[in-house]
Amino acid sequence: MPTGTEDDLRRTLRRIDGRSYPAYRDLKGNWRLPLYTLAVRRVQGDPFAAPSSLAVILDPAAAGFEAAAFSTPSRRVGLSCLLARTFAAAARGTRGRRAGSGKSGEIGMADPGQVVLANTAVVVGNNGAVEARFTVGLPAAGRRVLGRAAERLLLDTLPALIERSLPARAHPPADIARHVEANEDADFLRGQLDARALVAFLADGSLLPRRSGVDDRPLAGDRATRFESPPSLRVTLERANGPPVAGMGIPRGVTLLVGGGYHGKSTVLDAIARGVYNHRPGDGRELVVTDPTAVRVQAEDGRSVSGVDISPFIGTLPGGQDTTAFSTPNASGSTSQAAAIVEALEAGSRLLLIDEDTAATNFMIRDRRMQALVKSDDEPITPFIDRVRSLHEDTGTSTVLVIGGSGDYLDVADRVLAMIRYRPHDVSRAAQDVAATHPTGRLASSHSVVWPSRHRFPDPRSISPRRGRRARYIKVRDRRTVDFGSDRIELAGVRQIVSRSQTRAIALAIGHARKFMGEGMALEDILESLGESLDRRGLDVLDSDRRGDLAVPRIQDIAAALGRLRTLTLIGAGK
Model pLDDT, residue 443? 87
**Could you tell me the pLDDT band of residue 574, with boundaries at 50, 70 and 90?**
very low
pLDDT in tens, 71-83: 999 999 999 999 9
Model pLDDT, residue 373? 92
Kindly report the backbone phi and psi dihedral angles of residue 89, in degrees, each rounded to the nearest multiple of 5, phi listed first: -65, -40
pLDDT in tens, 23-56: 999 999 999 999 999 999 999 999 888 999 999 9
| Chain mean pLDDT for the chain | 94
Q: Whole-angstrom Cα distance, residue 571 to residue 462? A: 10
Q: Whole-angstrom Cα distance, residue 434 to residue 437? A: 5
Model pLDDT, residue 575? 40
Please, what's the b/e burial string for 301-327 (b: 16 or more CB within 10 A of its CB; e: otherwise)? eebbbbbbbbbbbbeeeeeeeebbbbb
CA angle 178, 179, 184 (to 5 degrees): 100
By CB atoms closer than 10 A (0-12, 13-18, 19+), residue 567 is middle
The percentage of residues in the chain with a pLDDT greater than 70, rounded to a whole number, is 98
Q: Are 140 and 20 in contact (CB under 8 A)?
A: no
Model pLDDT, residue 379? 87
Q: Whole-angstrom Cα distance, residue 441 to residue 52? A: 67
Model pLDDT, residue 448? 81
Give the bridge partners for 456, in sequence order.
573
Model pLDDT, residue 573? 46
C-alpha distance from residue 350 to each of 188, 197, 287, 395, 400 (Å)? 19, 12, 21, 8, 11
**Could you tell me the pLDDT band of residue 96, with boundaries at 50, 70 and 90?**
low
Is residue 104 scored above 70 in pLDDT?
yes
